[in-house]
Amino acid sequence: MNFELSDDQQALVDAARDFSVKALAPQAAEWDAQCHFPVDVLREAAELGLLGLYTPEAAGGLGLSRLDAVLIVEELARGCTSTTAYLTIHNMCAWMLGAFGSPAIHERFVRPLVSGEQLASYCLTEPGNGSDAANLKTTARREGDHYVVNGAKCFISGAGATQVLVLMARTGGPGPKGISCLAVPADLDGISFGKKETKLGWNSQPTRTITFENVRVPADCLVGQEGQGFTFAMKGLDGGRLNIATCSVGTAQAALDTTVAYVKSRKQFGQPVADFQATQFRLADMQTDLIAARQMIRLAASKLDAGHPEATAYCAMAKRFATDACFDICNAALQLHGGYGYIREYPIERMVRDTRVHQILEGTNEIMRVIVGRRLLLDHTLEMLR
């Protein structure tokens, strides 16, 4: 095992860091305060290939490995957690359509997504199901050359501001085998958007409910074959969990960097706060947990790239550990800032707010434990997870 980055990987990191420092970090606080969705900056990101990181080259993307992608995402998240999180959702949509869609879908949807001409939302979660995605209720009934879609999706990032909806809907019977995937233009008749949700964090991206009422979607917008949608969704979630975990790591790194500078400059009882042993112990724990989270994610990414049979369990473990540990790191950073950490003049409170949701989405951390626990109880799996 080689834990050092290759020259090519370091070049990717350097380019992402430069974009993060110049385009994301200076405006992150303003975007958060004004709940502004920075579409113009996302289009700038597209010029660097950042909207098609692991989308197949044949569909117009960069075709990077998942390991290379998490290296880039970490640097971007150091600049703005919320905007980077949306960027990773868009990447998942572009990848899903590029990996499983027809050449016609590549031309109609994927290339405009990769170029930044259009943006995408991922539509899986429903008001009554949440973690129980296999029992989703939104239906897509075939009528001639169209599917007629009825139902609702909730907590949809970018909804109302994006042009493409990657929709999971039921075309068959109950359970996961009845679910299919459709690429849906967001401006079709019968699609309506709920109010923009007021959220604790992730304020630089809008979140809305989407309702579908007799929406006629052309049949050639079907991705893959009928009944394959749930498989696509689960494959997407493996990478999505790594992406969100990586957003947590990038944010925790920024929080730690900010805190180290703060405790070195802040004086109490006649000496820098950094001189107190309690401060040094806390910083050491933060750094140790951060390194552990980063390495778990990179291990899981390498398993996913290699097609390891237990890649899903590795991704679940990485997501659970990294999002828990990195939220704690951000919270500890706020504590070390004292009262200043609680006011918006400093970035720490935003980092705490933005990382909290990572323990919920892409599968709650309780569901991550279910995935890993069930795999461990299979006799043939135990050796594979060592």
- Pairing mode, if any, of strands 222-223 and 179-185? antiparallel
How far apart, in whole angstroms, are the C-alpha atoms of residue 66 and residue 238? 10
Helices 348-356 and 81-100, packing angle to 10 deg: 30
Sequence-ordered list of residues with C-beta below 8 angstroms from that of 299, at least 6 positions apart, any chain:
314, 318
How far apart, in whole angstroms, are the C-alpha atoms of residue 237 and residue 234? 5
- Pairing mode, if any, of strands 191-193 and 207-218? antiparallel
Q: What are phi and psi of 182, to 5 degrees?
A: -125, 140
How far apart, in whole angstroms, are the C-alpha atoms of residue 254 and residue 347? 9
The catalytic residue among 75, 213, 362, 366 is 362
Residue 250 structure tokens: 């990038």
Residue 24 structure tokens: 């994301």
362 as an active site residue: the answer is yes
Do residues 315 and 284 make contact, with C-beta atoms less than 8 angstroms apart? no
Q: If we measure between CA atoms, which residue out of 317, 251, 261, 262 comes closest to residue 290?
A: 251
Active site residues: 362
